[in-house]
Structure 1
Amino acid sequence: MQRNMTFLCNFFRRVTFTRSLKQPETFVIRSICVLSSHAKEGREILFNLRTCRGESLQRLQCCNALAACVSNSRSYSASREPANKTITVCGKDFVRDRMTNVNAKILSHIGRALHRQKDHPLYHTKTRLLQCLHQRYQNRRGNPVFTVVEDLPPLVTVQQNFDQLLVPPDHVCRNKRDNYYVNRRHLLRAHTSAHQGDLLASGLDNFVIVGDVYRRDEIDAFHYPVFHQMEGVKLYTAEELLPEDAGTGGPRPQVLTGLPSTGACAPDTNAPQAAHTPQAVAALTTDLQQCLQAMATTLFGEKTQCRWVPAYFPFTQPSWELEVLLDGRWVEILGCGIVQQRILETAGVKAKVGWAFGLGLERWAMKLYDIPDIRIFWSRDSGFLSQFKFEDSNTLYKYKRVSAYPQCTNDISFWLPSAATFDSNDFYDLVRQVGGDIVEQVSLVDEFKHPKTGRTSHCYRIVYRHMEKTLTQEEVNVVHRAIAATATAELAVTVR
């Protein structure tokens, strides 16, 4: 018995729990104990402690105390090698390494495919956007030219997500703090652009990609670690893009200058690529902006005010963001630009130029249907889903709240192990993993540096609100203590 207790104290990893929806008074506490890397067995031991009613808080407090003991007995390293050597993603097993940071909570979203579920607001939003594209771009027979690809798995390689899109090796968007890595070679796609190179190489000239994407981000009503993107790419030959100069009888203008395509960006000037002729840039810009502005006014109303803002993306040059005036303020709704010629050449595309755009379906749907909280899209509640049960996606409708459940707000303050190793995104991700979708917001409300010790303290405000029931303060306190215990064990912070 003593040996077992010593084992638990030395190798306890974290405490999480899930609330049983069918048994409101029942909590499941999961204590994961991992053998050290030099242990012979090298296996993971999983304990499920099921507690009921009055005993739940006492047992959770015991686990919390155990977590605190473990935290004090070891130092935290964000880049340590995990003891559980493999992870399964999309039916494939991968060896973990120092880049692995994806967790079970995030992986549970794979396969939900909200954009393909009929009678879902994301499905209706996607359908309306596709209608705009299909009506605008048709071949001589009157058929849509865009191929729609919406069933690609979210597991991609670093090469697909970054290298093929000319993202510099030191670019901040590659950072572990912003992405969900399976290991150093694989991650969950951060954008649907990750499939652009492969689809271009397959011979497609006009395609739309729709899918779920994954990013580590702040926690509020407008951000969620999993959301859905729509990406469009359209290519043109010189004959398709530029009309023949019938007035002078001269040759048709060309789309390429013959200069090498370096893939370099000019974010300060947003200048055209040297490989593109001025005529091609002008024609592509006009076509792209007219198309996307028409999509915005079709969905949000003909009187919607729009403006174009220069932007920077490694895979397009020049680039823009489209902003619309909604409720008295300018809101960015998409990014776009002229595709880097080097990307096309790498994919084997010759003598063609093109444009691309990307948008977040949730952002459009929230404005279209007046949905106030991005978490609502993941609800399985029939009171929510039944509101969007209509055949025609063009039906005008405004979301009606099923019920406005009250918020519960708790603060947590802790001393950081060191400013160099602590990252707020790690804490946000931990809160999501432990608290799940009952966490509505997390914000840093105070930062203090002790004048004598030099230690830094953070205070975070966590707002809890269940989407389908009223939370009691006791229930929230249980979650809050579990977050504190897990942060102590995982991030080596000292709760104040």
Structure 2
Amino acid sequence: MLNRKSEEYYQRPFSRVKSVAMAVPLAQTTLLFRTSLLLSKNALRSFTSCIPPSSSSSSYSSSELHRKQWRQPVASVLEFGGVKIGREDVVRDDPTNNVPDSIFSRLGMQLHRRDQHPIGILKNAIYEYFDTSYSNTFDKFDNLCPIVSVKQNFDDVLVPADHVSRSYNDTYYIDSQTVLRCHTSAHQAELLRKGHTHFLVTGDVYRRDSIDSTHYPVFHQMEGVRVFQPDEWEASGIDATSYAAEDLKKCLEGLARHLFGAVEMRWIDAYFPFTNPSFELEIYFKEKWLEVLGCGVMEQEILKRADRVNNVAWAFGLGLERLAMVLFDIPDIRLFWSNDERFTSQFSKGQLGIKFKPFSKYPPCYKDMSFWINESFTENNLCEIVRGVAGDLAEEVLLIDNFTNKKGMTSHCYRIAYRSMERSLTDEEINELQWNVRDQVQSKLKVVLR
């Protein structure tokens, strides 16, 4: 859902807004990759892990070997049910396509389906609460295809046509009508049309974003929906909207106690395009207020489109990384993607809230880069280039200085922090990364380096 203050979907981990215009105009193309029609008709098909490429017997220099170790393998094929999707169907030389290999490599990894991973442990703890509190009445979906139509991702949940989240700056487009889902709400309308009245949807979601310890272009959300019949609220003596709002708050207060214990809570009025009224739940945890989730009573237009004109419903959404970082004391969002046994061995199935014990923290290396920007420049585009070159070795990209000269030209200076969570980086590696970043920033963003 969209946060009232940040205009973000519900519970983007520690989100902050960037009010930017659409960086690239929507091209009027109707090209779809060869299976998009099948995917749009079968958006709820199960989806399995990526198939890694075959290994190479080539020899590597020392620095090349280091890079081979930290770069994620780029899969060549994905499977959605029995349908094979090639890399060229998702990452293509197309004016409307902005999905890089670094994002394609995350498709199919599904951290939320790993029972010994913090994200999977948290998901299962939430499942336990709903199974216990509602006698297993909530249907659960955690393997729905992340490739969805623009209609599913935006139109079906009433995101305005001019909203910033639709821009190429914020969303990964496969083509002009197909995206990598930005939120699990993309499946809400279709599940309602299929007759589901109580459901939880968990999945990996994708957004172009900043580079720092709490932002990552792939993260995980859980969506919850409950639909009420007229006889459920008519007997209560209160109107349908008030009945659904009261039930929603009672449900989510119980969930917060299940996850965090006996904590102080408060409700904040919010704005989301798909709920009215809308709320955010905050808890007082470790001597500060923490925003836990966004929620509200579903807009009647969504129910009307699903042929449920006589119903009322509530919906909530939460970011699993946001909560897992707090519950497990995980300081850097990149750690969720680590295969280092010093990280993975610390967590066990069913053990919620085990505190992460930091292992050796290797030193960061800072590199500054200044350039004159142009009208089309956005920080998200810069971060995509840095990620494409450095992968998870990019710890932070921070604007440290900017000014406008007498000619009206604006200069930005960014500080890039490179740091591995698993080993020390060599000077040779860092210098090569920085020179590659500089070359690509100049050629792709059309800025003038200083």
TM range (shorter): 0.7 to 0.9
Equivalent residue number for residue 393 of structure 1? 351
Equivalent residue number for residue 264 of structure 1? none
TM-score, normalization by structure 2: 0.80
Equivalent residue number for residue 163 of structure 1? 155
User: Does the CA contact (< 8 Å) of 2:125 and 2:350 recur in 1?
Assistant: no
- Paired with 1:306 and 1:473, the residues of 2 have a C-alpha distance of 49
Equivalent residue number for residue 325 of structure 1? 284
- Paired with 1:28 and 1:495, the residues of 2 have a C-alpha distance of 30
2:346 aligned counterpart, secondary structure? helix
The answer to whether structure 1 residue 475 and structure 2 residue 429 are counterparts is: yes
The answer to whether structure 1 residue 197 and structure 2 residue 189 are counterparts is: yes
Deviations 1:258-304 (A, max 9, x none): xxxxxxxxxxxxxxxxxxxx6212221111111112211221121x2
Report the Cα offset of residue 239 of structure 1: 1.8
Equivalent residue number for residue 71 of structure 2? none
Deviations 1:373-421 (A, max 9, x none): 0000000111211111x34334x410111221111111111112x2x21
1:145 aligned counterpart, secondary structure? coil
State the AA in 1 paired with 2:205.
V
| Alignment CA distance shift 1:131-1:88 (3 Å) | closer
Deviations 1:448-484 (A, max 9, x none): 2122x32211100111110110113332121111100
User: Does the CA contact (< 8 Å) of 1:89 and 1:107 recur in 2?
Assistant: no
| Alignment CA distance shift 1:96-1:486 (3 Å) | closer
Equivalent residue number for residue 26 of structure 1? 63
State the AA in 2 paired with 1:332.
E
Report the Cα offset of residue 429 of structure 1: 1.1
2:143 to 129, 134, 151: 151
User: Does the CA contact (< 8 Å) of 2:233 and 2:239 recur in 1?
Assistant: no
Aligned residues: 378
1:428 to 351, 369, 383: 383
2:253 to 293, 297, 315: 293
| Alignment CA distance shift 1:374-1:170 (3 Å) | same
| Alignment CA distance shift 1:223-1:89 (3 Å) | farther
Unaligned runs of 5+ in 1: 1-19, 31-49, 51-86, 139-143, 245-252, 254-277
| Alignment CA distance shift 1:24-1:148 (3 Å) | farther
Name which one, 1 or 2, has greater alpha-carbon Rg. 1
State the AA in 2 paired with 1:113.
Q
2:97 to 97, 100, 110: 100
TM-score, normalization by structure 1: 0.72
- Paired with 2:64 and 2:303, the residues of 1 have a C-alpha distance of 54
State the AA in 1 paired with 2:209.
D
The answer to whether structure 1 residue 457 and structure 2 residue 411 are counterparts is: yes
1:286 aligned counterpart, secondary structure? helix
- Paired with 2:395 and 2:285, the residues of 1 have a C-alpha distance of 24
User: Does the CA contact (< 8 Å) of 1:127 and 1:393 recur in 2?
Assistant: no
The answer to whether structure 1 residue 364 and structure 2 residue 318 are counterparts is: no
Equivalent residue number for residue 15 of structure 2? none
Equivalent residue number for residue 27 of structure 2? none
- Paired with 1:96 and 1:203, the residues of 2 have a C-alpha distance of 39
State the AA in 2 paired with 1:398.
K
Equivalent residue number for residue 221 of structure 2? 229
Equivalent residue number for residue 265 of structure 2? 306
1:182 aligned counterpart, secondary structure? strand
Equivalent residue number for residue 402 of structure 1? 359
Deviations 1:89-125 (A, max 9, x none): 9716367643321111111100000000121011110
- Paired with 1:401 and 1:442, the residues of 2 have a C-alpha distance of 23
Report the Cα offset of residue 29 of structure 1: 13
Runs (4+) of structure 1 exceeding 3 A deviation are 87-90, 94-98
- Paired with 1:372 and 1:282, the residues of 2 have a C-alpha distance of 39
User: Does the CA contact (< 8 Å) of 1:96 and 1:183 recur in 2?
Assistant: no
User: Does the CA contact (< 8 Å) of 2:122 and 2:320 recur in 1?
Assistant: yes
State the AA in 1 paired with 2:387.
R
User: Does the CA contact (< 8 Å) of 1:235 and 1:352 recur in 2?
Assistant: yes
1:387 aligned counterpart, secondary structure? coil
Unaligned runs of 5+ in 2: 1-56, 69-76
Equivalent residue number for residue 393 of structure 2? 438
* Mapping 1:135-146, distance limit 5 Å: 135-138=132-135, 144-146=136-138
1:342 aligned counterpart, secondary structure? helix
- Paired with 1:475 and 1:341, the residues of 2 have a C-alpha distance of 55
- Paired with 2:367 and 2:294, the residues of 1 have a C-alpha distance of 37
Equivalent residue number for residue 73 of structure 2? none
- Paired with 2:334 and 2:371, the residues of 1 have a C-alpha distance of 28
User: Does the CA contact (< 8 Å) of 1:242 and 1:283 recur in 2?
Assistant: no
Report the Cα offset of residue 440 of structure 1: 0.7
State the AA in 2 paired with 1:483.
V
State the AA in 1 paired with 2:142.
E
1:207 to 190, 195, 199: 199
Question: Greater CA deviation, 174-183 or 233-242?
Answer: 233-242
2:345 aligned counterpart, secondary structure? helix
- Paired with 1:243 and 1:103, the residues of 2 have a C-alpha distance of 54
Report the Cα offset of residue 422 of structure 1: 1.0
- Paired with 2:109 and 2:78, the residues of 1 have a C-alpha distance of 17
- Paired with 1:175 and 1:323, the residues of 2 have a C-alpha distance of 30
The answer to whether structure 1 residue 279 and structure 2 residue 236 are counterparts is: no
User: Does the CA contact (< 8 Å) of 1:310 and 1:319 recur in 2?
Assistant: yes
The answer to whether structure 1 residue 413 and structure 2 residue 370 are counterparts is: yes
State the AA in 2 paired with 1:328.
E
State the AA in 2 paired with 1:383.
R
- Paired with 2:334 and 2:309, the residues of 1 have a C-alpha distance of 44
Percent identity, please: 45
1:124 to 121, 145, 155: 121
State the AA in 2 paired with 1:27.
E
- Paired with 1:280 and 1:213, the residues of 2 have a C-alpha distance of 32
User: Does the CA contact (< 8 Å) of 1:211 and 1:228 recur in 2?
Assistant: yes
| Alignment CA distance shift 1:478-1:235 (3 Å) | same
- Paired with 1:124 and 1:117, the residues of 2 have a C-alpha distance of 8
* Mapping 1:237-256, distance limit 5 Å: 237-243=229-235
User: Does the CA contact (< 8 Å) of 2:121 and 2:349 recur in 1?
Assistant: no
The answer to whether structure 1 residue 486 and structure 2 residue 443 are counterparts is: no
- Paired with 1:397 and 1:180, the residues of 2 have a C-alpha distance of 34
Deviations 1:202-239 (A, max 9, x none): 01000100000001111111110000000000001022
User: Does the CA contact (< 8 Å) of 2:199 and 2:224 recur in 1?
Assistant: yes
